[in-house]
């Protein structure tokens, strides 16, 4: 097998990376070339992504790759969903993109439902109602007479905006567009009724393309800035969860996945969207995946809880935090990780204490108690969502694959196995970048299907772990306690 090199630009909610991947002898190896912050700027009452700074960091990573002197086959970009940038008639960016955590969309869904009922919007898109979905961001900007929206020739999602800056080609990649709640998952095209309500049309976006298609080649300017040649930029599953799910090391379809990071995304892979009365009631989403698949999933607040708590504590590594949690009392305090109080509080530790006060539980006071509360609550929330998925899934769920950074968290993964009562297996902690790379490999003809992609991934991973349920009776009792506090608040 010929050795091939691919570059993955992988941007998360807190940091971004440029990764050089080498495929040789049926295996893939990845090297982190450049890591950088994905900066959020608070300015004039709003939160913005500093897209020029992110673009500059991407260029720096590509420059470092060029210095290595290897032949690069292509570049792929994945990021978080829903956010977008405006570009004017002259091709220039009109202003910094809003961050999805900006409060300007608080209450926005209800205002949109005055013109299109909640159920109709869900039936059209199959997307979970969340206030920061692109449809509600755009409707809020329209109601607020946003000058950038009024002047925009193109609206490009974050990975598409970066691809445009690199190539000059304005495209809309399907998986990232599917997060917007403006796409019909059956036709995989824009819903005209929704666009009309926003005063938009398909022409306001780039041409629709699917994962595995070429976007363009690096512009002359970018070639000079980086030292790379006219390398192809390829559409991967540019929504980071789509890339992560592409890297699940499954051998069959009888699985659920948990992409565990700042957010926890739990779902199943389906050939068709699951849009029903039950999925509507449970608020499940149908996002685009690779090779025409649909990711039927629910967004769950993930390590955001712990990340925010860590900001308030003396600097400690995860090993020390987990050691403290292991020494704390089991099931002392439980929370609903998705309660509104945890969305973006000034103090996460105070928010957790307040939740416990309101549900008549002892407040955590020690670091270990907070960490254990978060891990056990997440595991019990995962059980709740697995039970929902079992009602919706077209296939029986026999195991759960944990991918992303959470794949390394032994305590949380064992807790999850014990809580949900089925085997938990880990995939790559670098699953998002890995899925990004494998779609580029498919474009290059190195692999030819999801099955061959996942086979190469399985053969490339040497640190996979399995967790079997333990102490199931205790976890069932804890689940009853969790359901009680979940209903109370």
Active site residues: 240
The 10 Å Cβ neighbour count of residue 255 is 22
Task: Give strand pairing partners of 74.
Answer: 6, 232
CA dihedral sign of residues 148, 233, 237, 406: negative
> Strand pairing of 294-301 and 263-270?
antiparallel
Whether 285 contacts 128, CB under 8 Å: yes
Residue with tokens 């869900």: 122
Give the phi and the psi of residue 269 in degrees, each rounded to 5: -100, 130
Query: Phi and psi for 47 in degrees, rounded to 5?
Result: -110, 125
CA distances from 150 to 53, 84, 125, 184, 218 (A): 25, 15, 25, 25, 29
What secondary structure, in 3-state letters, does 425-481 show?
A: EECCCCHHHHHHHHHHHHHCCCCCCHHHHHHHHHHHCCCCCEECCCCHHHHHHHHHH
What's the distance, CA 352 to chain centroid? 24
Residue 327 CB burial class (10 angstroms; 0-12, 13-18, ≥19):
exposed
Helix 450-460 vs helix 431-443: angle between axes, to the nearest 10 degrees? Answer: 130
Tokens of 118: 């909640």
Q: Mind giving me the DSSP string for 331-351?
A: TSS---TT-GGGSS-S-HHHH
User: How many residues in total does the chain contain?
Assistant: 489
DSSP 111: H
Contact 18, 7 (CB under 8 A): yes
- Closest by CA to 8, choosing from 19, 419, 16, is 19
The secondary structure element, H or E, covering residue 418 is helix 410-420
Distance CA 75, CA 234 (A): 6
Q: Tell me the two tokens of residue 433.
A: 């970048």
């Amino acid at each position: 097998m010929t050795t091939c090199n691919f570059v993955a630009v992988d941007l998360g909610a807190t940091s971004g990376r440029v990764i050089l991947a080498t495929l040789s002898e049926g295996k893939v190896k990845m090297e982190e070339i450049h890591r950088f912050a994905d900066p959020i700027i608070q300015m004039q009452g709003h939160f913005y992504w500093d897209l020029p700074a992110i673009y500059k960091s991407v260029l720096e990573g590509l420059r470092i790759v060029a210095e290595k002197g290897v032949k690069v086959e292509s570049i792929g970009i994945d990021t978080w969903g829903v956010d977008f940038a405006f570009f004017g008639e002259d091709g220039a960016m009109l202003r910094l993109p809003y961050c999805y955590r900006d409060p300007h969309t608080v209450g926005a869904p209800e205002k949109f439902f005055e013109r299109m009922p909640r159920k109709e919007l869900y039936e059209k898109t199959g997307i979970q109602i969340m206030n920061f979905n692109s449809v509600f961001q755009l409707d809020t900007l329209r109601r607020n007479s946003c000058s950038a929206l009024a002047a925009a020739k193109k609206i490009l999602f974050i990975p598409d905006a970066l691809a445009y800056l690199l190539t000059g080609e304005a495209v809309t990649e399907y998986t990232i567009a599917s997060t917007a709640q403006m796409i019909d998952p059956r036709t995989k095209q824009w819903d005209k009724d929704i666009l009309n309500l926003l005063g938009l049309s398909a022409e306001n976006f780039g041409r629709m393309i699917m994962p595995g298609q070429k976007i363009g080649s690096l512009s002359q300017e970018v070639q000079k800035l980086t030292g790379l040649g006219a390398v192809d930029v390829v559409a991967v599953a540019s929504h980071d969860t789509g890339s992560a799910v592409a890297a699940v090391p499954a051998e069959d379809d009888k699985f659920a996945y948990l992409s565990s990071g700042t957010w926890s995304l739990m779902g199943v892979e389906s050939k068709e969207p699951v849009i029903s009365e039950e999925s509507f009631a449970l608020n499940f989403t149908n996002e685009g995946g690779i090779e025409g698949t649909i990711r039927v999933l629910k967004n769950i607040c993930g390590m955001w809880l712990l990340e925010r708590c860590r900001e308030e504590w003396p600097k400690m590594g995860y090993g020390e935090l987990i050691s403290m949690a292991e020494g704390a009392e089991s099931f002392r305090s439980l929370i609903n990780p998705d309660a509104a109080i945890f969305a973006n509080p000034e103090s996460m530790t105070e928010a957790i204490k307040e939740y416990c006060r309101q549900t008549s539980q002892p407040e955590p006071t020690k670091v270990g108690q907070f960490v254990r509360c978060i891990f056990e609550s997440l595991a019990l929330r995962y059980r709740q969502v697995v039970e929902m998925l079992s009602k919706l899934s077209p296939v029986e769920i026999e195991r759960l694959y944990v991918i992303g950074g959470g794949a390394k968290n032994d305590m949380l993964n064992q807790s999850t196995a014990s809580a949900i009562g089925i085997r938990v297996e880990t995939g790559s902690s670098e699953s998002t970048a890995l899925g990004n790379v494998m779609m580029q490999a498919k474009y290059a003809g190195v692999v030819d299907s999801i099955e061959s992609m996942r086979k190469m991934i399985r053969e490339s991973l040497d640190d996979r772990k399995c967790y079997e349920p333990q102490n199931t009776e205790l976890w069932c009792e804890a689940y009853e306690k969790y359901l009680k506090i979940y209903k109370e608040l």
